[in-house]
Structure 1
Amino acid sequence: MRGRWVKGAALAVSLVFLVTCGPAAGRHVRAAPRGAPVLHVAALEPAVVGRRMWHADERAVKEKPEYDGTVKAVFVHHTDNPNTYDCRKDVPAMLLAMERSHIALGWDDLGYNFVVDRCGTVYEGRAGGIGRAVRGAHTEGFNVDTVGIAALGNFGPGRKVPEPMLRAIARIAAWKLAPGIDPRGKVRLVSTDSRSRFRKGTAAQLHAISGHRDAYETDCPGDALYAALPWIRRTAASLRQGATY
């Protein structure tokens, strides 16, 4: 894996290694006049359980990672798994099964960049380095310059989305979105695939933090999680404000 492993704690396991982005995070901070507030992206980095800890099948990965220059938007998904899993015991096996399923579908690796469990633990999804703009396979037509975050579970109508999960999603979004992107605002993205809601080559105005259904004909991320997106946007914006000094 790219990056350096640092010893740290996480809810899902008693001992994990955190991948730090080091200089990669620093490159996102724009030069500013002396005394002007600067967004310190590195201060927003969450603890992330690396692929090694959930036993990702690296030999099964089909292609090397692709990278983009920036992250303009985040797409939120749910994985449609049962919500009764044990965060400590069950999640690594669930992620490994998901990775193998996505590879069988022809997506080369696990499609999502990050997966969050109901306890709020953040897992590294697609390989390539958590501090880099790794191109995922999560949103048909809009994988370029975006990050896919998957909520582990099913958050359809009537389901409750745990607050630790929501807070973790907001923190990833606050961390990964490029400086200058307002988590509460909209961005311009160009579709690369006509199987999305937008014909290939069409410019779409989408929320900087969008649900999968905003770009593709699907119920994902479920009605309950979709209804929580405004809260996630506000929380991400607040986290960024707290990291600007």
Structure 2
Amino acid sequence: MTAPENIQHAHAPGRLSRRTLLGATAGGVLLAGATVPAAAHAAPAPRCYTRTEWSARPPRSATQVIGKPDHIVIHHTASPNVTDYSLAAAYKVQHWIQDLHMDTNRWIDIGNQLTISRGGYLMEGRSKSLSSINNGLNVLGAQTANHNSHTIGIEHEGIYVNANPTVALFDMSVLTCAWLCTKYGLDPHVAIVGHRDYNSTQCPGDVFYARLPELRDRVAAVLLG
């Protein structure tokens, strides 16, 4: 789930070479981005349901548009693994997240930039997220404490401590991450991380976290066409 609202700007590390990044050990998170190989295929944008479509509440204050992120953070909502995979159910969970973040956490808006439902529907999160992504930029969210200034977060509906994500959800995560890697020029093997890589949390769950190598490989395959 998302972390407390925090707008501290993390130190921006120097850019490392692709060889250095991919040759590093997997014992920790690499905080530098890496460009996608020149031969990479431009992944198309998946269908994303806008805030207007899911009837989002307006933010309490202006959304801050910032530069492109260097990491894509994978979250789970830690909500029930519902079996209603409809678009209506997707809208319902998005309202639940926004209400939690605004009314309980007292944040200015929903904390994450994107959400994927168990039915595989992709939805815009924080205000201006979709337009910012399409322009190669990002909005300052509240999804990874102390690292919001350089990351973009994807909430995945459900709890994946012991259960697997649905096929539809995982497939959409692949397409979404490929789109983001294309927009931001990121290498999926470096850029895609779990929430727990930055903060002390079970998120995105042991099962989903164990599948991040698969997610990275599948995204890379999409980018290679």
Structure holding more helix per residue = 2
Provide the residue aligned with 1:98 in structure 2. Answer: 97
How many Å separate the matches in 2 of 1:165 and 1:52?
22
Aligned counterparts, 1:153-168, within 5 A: 153-157=158-162, 159-168=163-172
Compute the TM-score of the two structures, normalised by the length of structure 2: 0.74
Aligned counterparts, 1:62-81, within 5 A: 62-81=60-79
> 2:112 corresponds to which letter in structure 1?
Y
* Structure whose alpha-carbon radius of gyration is higher: 1
- Identical counterparts, % of pairs: 30
Provide the residue aligned with 2:109 in structure 1. Answer: 109
Aligned counterparts, 1:61-210, within 5 A: 61-88=59-86, 89-104=88-103, 105-132=105-132, 133-157=138-162, 159-177=163-181, 179-185=184-190, 208-210=191-193
Provide the residue aligned with 1:240 in structure 2. Answer: 223
> 2:91 corresponds to which letter in structure 1?
P
Question: Which deviates more from structure 2 when the two are superposed, residues 167-176 or residues 140-149?
Answer: 167-176
Q: Note if contact 1:128-1:134 (Cα within 8 Å) is conserved in structure 2.
A: yes
RMSD: 1.9
Question: Judging changes above 3 Å, is the alpha-carbon distance between structure 1 residues 217 and 38 closer, same or farther for their aligned structure 2 residues?
Answer: closer
What SS does the corresponding residue of 1:164 show, helix, strand or coil?
Answer: helix
1:94 Cα offset (Å): 2.1
- CA offset digits 1:188-244 (Å, max 9, x no partner): xxxxxxxxxxxxxxxxxxxx11111110001011111111111111111111122xx
Structure holding more strand per residue = 1
Provide the residue aligned with 2:195 in structure 1. Answer: 212
Higher relative contact order (CA 8 A, sep 6+): 2
- CA offset digits 1:147-176 (Å, max 9, x no partner): 10011011112x121122112112212211
1:66 Cα offset (Å): 1.2
Aligned length: 181
What SS does the corresponding residue of 2:159 show, helix, strand or coil?
Answer: coil
What SS does the corresponding residue of 2:61 show, helix, strand or coil?
Answer: coil
How many Å separate the matches in 2 of 1:241 and 1:38?
5
How many Å separate the matches in 2 of 1:66 and 1:162?
33
Provide the residue aligned with 2:44 in structure 1. Answer: 44
How many Å separate the matches in 2 of 1:120 and 1:131?
21
1:179 Cα offset (Å): 4.7
What SS does the corresponding residue of 2:127 show, helix, strand or coil?
Answer: coil
What SS does the corresponding residue of 2:203 show, helix, strand or coil?
Answer: coil
1:37 Cα offset (Å): 4.6
Compute the TM-score of the two structures, normalised by the length of structure 1: 0.69
